[in-house]
């Protein structure tokens, strides 16, 4: 019957009244991004901040006016001026140059630490979640892993991180390791609870019935469907790790001075602040705060994009804005 209809009407005729989408052309990727940015400027701000911070770190050797670890004792504690835009610190190092170099250490450590913890935490969490109700030997191991996570989380995070760094020796690698280590339980738990819900889904059963092994099922079906919350956590976690890195350096357990690291810069400027020279501490702190702010904005946007309810609201706001703007233009 369908064939006859087609023959009678001809395919061109079909096209005319049946179209898979609306009459308007599908908007481009960039166009959609711009429209979202206009309705949620904070999202755009987040991506821009992160981009600028990474760029500053990458181009610091080209852009910075001074060597970040070269002290000029004749120029100590200069307030911001034409030669030293953000002033100099107590030993005469240029603060602007040091602030520019900051992301090289802080963002690198935080991103690496977060990546390691997310990878390990998600894989182990998926395994634990998948087998925790299996009722066999593996479920007992899963139980033990969770109790170990309990123990690790019962530690005061900061003291734990300092102890890790102290026992492994102070270096950038150990700070990365410490940050990765204290973050693992977060991903472990997120992934476990997601996987435990997904484990009960029919498609997991179907995959097992179809003859896939447990590991294949975990990798192909469970993990991709459970990743959402962990992904949304990533960016916020990078911001938080930057704060932790700076905190470690602030107490002298992280990156050592005179490396251009924001936390240790704030620490060395501490005494000067009390006596009124605010710039050695305030500027690196601002850079730190703005960078972390950028990462949490990005995290926010990821959260919205992953949540059907929030994305519906976003779409409503985008269209409402455009409608009011169109109405205003007509008036």
Partner 1 sequence: MTRIISFLGQRLLFIVPQLFGILLVSFFLIKSIPGDPAVLMLGPMASTDAVVSLRTKLGLDHALPIQFWHFLVNLVHGDLGTSWQTTRPVLEDLLQRFPATLELVTLGLLGAIIIGVPLGVASAFDEKGILGRVAGVYGLTAGSLPDFWLALVLIFVFYTILQIVPAPLGRLDFAILPPPTISGFLIFDSIAAGDWAALGSALTHLCLPVLTLSLINAGPILKMTQSTMDRMLQSDFSRYEVLSGLPHRMVVRHALRNSLPSIVTIISVLYGYLLGGAVLVEIVFSWGGAGQYAVQGVLNSDIYPVLGFVLFSAIFSLIVYLIVDIVYVAIDPRIGR
Partner 2 sequence: MLKLSDRVQATAASSDARPTFDIRGLTVEFPAITGVPTVAIRNLDLRIERGEIFGLVGESGAGKTTLARSLLRLPPEPGRIAGGELLFEGQDIMSLTEVELQRTRGRDISMIVPNPRSELNPLLTVGEQIANVAQVHLRVSRREARGLALDILRAVQIPDPERRMTAFPHEMSGGMAQRIVIAIALICSPKFIVSDDATSGLDVTVQAQILELLRRLAQDRGSAMLFITRDIGITAHFCDRVAVIYNGEIMELAGREDFFFRPAHPYTIMLMAAFSYNQSLRRLWARPEPLPGAKVHDSACPYTLRCPLAQERCRIDRPALREIAPGHYASCHFPVRR
Give contact residues for partner 1 (rule: CB under 8 A).
42, 147-148, 150-152, 154-160, 162-164, 166-167, 169, 239-240, 243, 246-247, 250-253, 263, 266, 270, 273-276, 278, 281-282, 285, 288-290, 292-293, 296-297, 300, 309
Q: Is 316 in the site for partner 2 (CB under 8 A)?
A: yes
* 328 cis-preceded (ω within 30 degrees of 0): no
Q: Which is nearer to partner 2, 2 or 200 (CB)?
A: 2
CB of 48 to partner 1, least distance (A): 15
Taking CB within 5 to 8 Å according to partner kind, which of partner 2, partner 1, none is near residue 49?
A: none
Q: Which residues, listed in sequence order, are joined to residue 284 by a DSSP beta bridge?
A: none
Residue 41 interacting with partner 2 (CB under 8 A): no
Q: Are 246 and 179 in contact (CB under 8 A)?
A: no
Binding window for partner 2 (CB under 8 A); candidates: 12-20, 70-78, 196-204, 223-231: 12-20
Q: Per rule CB under 8 A, is residue 42 in the interface with partner 2?
A: no
Kindly state whether residue 22 participates in binding partner 2, applying the rule CB under 8 A.
yes
Distance, in Å, from the CA atom of 66 to the CA atom of 98, rounded to the nearest integer, reads 8
Contact track, partner 2, 68-107, x by CB under 8 A: ----------------------------------------
Partner touching 285 among partner 1, partner 2, none, CB below 5 to 8 Å by kind: partner 1
CB of 270: closest distance to partner 1 in angstroms? Answer: 6
Handedness of CA 309, 312, 314, 317 (dihedral sign): negative
CA distances from 264 to 46, 110, 157, 285 (A): 25, 15, 19, 10
Measured CA to CA, the distance from residue 20 to residue 37 in angstroms comes to 28
- What is the number of other CB atoms lying within 10 angstroms of the CB of residue 65? 11
Which residues partner with 94 through β-bridges? 88
Residue 190 CB, shortest distance to partner 2, in Å, is 24
Angle (CA) 50 51 55, round 5°: 115
């Amino acid at each position: 019957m369908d064939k006859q209809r087609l023959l009678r009407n001809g395919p061109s005729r079909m096209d005319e009244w049946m179209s898979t989408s609306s009459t308007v052309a599908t908007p481009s990727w960039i166009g959609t991004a711009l429209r979202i940015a206009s309705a949620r400027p904070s999202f755009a701000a987040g991506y821009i901040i992160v981009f600028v911070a990474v760029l500053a770190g990458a181009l610091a050797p080209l852009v910075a006016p001074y060597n970040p670890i070269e002290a000029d004792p004749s120029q100590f504690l200069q307030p911001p001026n034409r030669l030293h835009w953000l002033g100099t610190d107590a030993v005469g190092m240029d603060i602007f140059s040091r602030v520019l170099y900051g992301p090289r250490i802080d963002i690198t450590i935080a991103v690496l630490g977060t990546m390691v913890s997310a990878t390990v935490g998600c894989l182990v969490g998926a395994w634990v979640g998948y087998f925790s109700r299996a009722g066999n030997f593996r479920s007992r191991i899963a139980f033990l892993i969770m109790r170990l996570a309990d123990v690790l989380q019962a530690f005061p995070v900061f003291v734990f991180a300092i102890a890790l760094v102290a026992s492994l020796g102070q270096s950038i690698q150990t700070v990365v390791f410490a940050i990765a280590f204290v973050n693992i339980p977060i991903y472990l738990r997120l992934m476990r609870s997601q996987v435990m819900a997904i484990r009960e889904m029919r498609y997991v059963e179907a995959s097992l019935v179809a003859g896939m092994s447990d590991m294949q099922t975990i990798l192909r079906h469970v993990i991709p469907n459970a990743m959402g919350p962990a992904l949304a956590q990533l960016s916020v976690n990078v911001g938080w790790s930057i704060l932790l890195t700076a905190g470690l350096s602030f107490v002298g357990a992280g990156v050592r001075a005179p490396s251009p690291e924001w936390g240790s810069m704030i620490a060395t400027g501490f005494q000067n602040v009390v006596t009124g020279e605010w710039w050695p501490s305030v500027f690196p702190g601002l850079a730190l705060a703005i960078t972390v702010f950028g990462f949490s904005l990005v995290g926010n946007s990821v959260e919205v994009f992953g949540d059907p309810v929030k994305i519906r609201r976003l779409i409503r706001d985008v269209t409402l804005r455009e409608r009011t703007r169109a109405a205003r233009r007509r008036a």
